[in-house]
Amino acid sequence: MASSGKGDQTQGAVRVNGFNDVPKPFLIGVGGGTASGKSTVCSKIMTELGQNEIDQKQKQVVIISQESFYYPLSSTDEPRASRGQYNFDHPSAVDDELILRTLSDLKCGKAVKIPEYDFVTHSRKPDAWRTVYPADVILFEGILVFYFKDIRELFDMKLFVDTDADTRLSRRVVRDIEERGRDLDQILHQYTSLVKPAFEEFCLPTKKYADVIIPRGADNTVAIGLIVQHIEDLLKPNSNLCAKRLRHNSDSLVSRPH
């Protein structure tokens, strides 16, 4: 296959030229209930690390969301989803095999293609797959990120965003009306019949796997500061992670006589 740009596409993954022995990215899982502030915590971490202004391919830290891995709906499930009757909070709604493959590929130094999700249509955005390159640190956030054992075992660090249920529901109502095109009846029906029971059955029990629990989510500046400090230490040029990556990158650029 012809080589173009930074990598070649091979069966969903993109092999980055010369990166076969690239040092493993540090993978951080960010779990927690719906609207607990997982995305906000991740974006605060990115901001404090000064990563937002950096070009996509040069970023040392990237965020991936579990929402990208919802299965496409069948024609019978689509109308149920529109009425708030499809269970998006059950583990069977997400393609855990694709998550496992994606995170494993990133860990091996391969770039990956990730679908973008549209909460209004309950489907993957057509032709909107983004390429994620293996960064030094990868944040993977979602309600079920610690539910699947194989996926859970890939994380080097596990954070659980622990926000009071009333706060989460009130935020979810506002967000789902303003950003996800839902009406109040649908939101409340979905929440009481599906979201809350699934949270209690599949998400809350995974809190025990967390290394760090973040009460109050993004309001907890102390916890976020400590996590940012830890990531900054990992990103320092003389840290184990970055020393290996720098050595690898310079090795792969230099052509040596045999």
Cα 57 vs. chain centroid, distance in angstroms? 17
Given ligand L45E5XJ5, ligand ADP, none, residue 88, with its beta carbon under 5 to 8 Å by kind, binds ligand L45E5XJ5
Given ligand ADP, ligand L45E5XJ5, none, residue 148, with its beta carbon under 5 to 8 Å by kind, binds none
Nearer to ligand ADP, 23 or 163 (CB): 163
Residues found near ligand L45E5XJ5 in the complex (CB under 6 A): 34-35, 38, 67, 70, 81, 88-89, 119, 122, 143, 195
Among 7, 14, 36, 157, interactor with ligand ADP by CB under 6 A: 36
CB of 20 to ligand L45E5XJ5, least distance (A): 35
Q: Is residue 48 at the binding interface for ligand ADP, with CB under 6 A as the rule?
A: no
Given ligand ADP, ligand L45E5XJ5, none, residue 109, with its beta carbon under 5 to 8 Å by kind, binds none
Find out whether 142 and 24 touch, Cβ atoms under 8 Å: no
Among 26, 28, 34, 146, interactor with ligand ADP by CB under 6 A: 34
The Cα–Cα gap between 25 and 147 comes to: 21
The Cα–Cα gap between 74 and 102 comes to: 23
Q: Is residue 23 at the binding interface for ligand ADP, with CB under 6 A as the rule?
A: no
Given ligand ADP, ligand L45E5XJ5, none, residue 219, with its beta carbon under 5 to 8 Å by kind, binds ligand ADP
The Cα–Cα gap between 140 and 132 comes to: 12
Q: Which tokens is 96 given?
A: 């855990």
The Cα–Cα gap between 197 and 224 comes to: 29
Q: What is the dihedral of CA 17, 22, 26, 27, to 10 degrees?
A: 50
Site track 145-184 with ligand ADP (rule: CB under 6 A), x = hit: --------------------------x---x---------
Given ligand ADP, ligand L45E5XJ5, none, residue 89, with its beta carbon under 5 to 8 Å by kind, binds ligand L45E5XJ5
Query: Which phi and psi (to 5°) does residue 39 adopt?
Result: -65, -40
Given ligand L45E5XJ5, ligand ADP, none, residue 122, with its beta carbon under 5 to 8 Å by kind, binds ligand L45E5XJ5
- Please report how many Cα atoms fall inside a 13 Å half-sphere around the Cα of residue 130, on the Cβ side: 14
Other CB atoms within a 10 A radius of the CB of residue 230 amount to 15
CB of 99 to ligand ADP, least distance (A): 16
Query: Which phi and psi (to 5°) does residue 87 adopt?
Result: -90, 90
Cα 152 vs. chain centroid, distance in angstroms? 12
Query: Which phi and psi (to 5°) does residue 161 adopt?
Result: -90, 115
CB of 130 to ligand ADP, least distance (A): 18
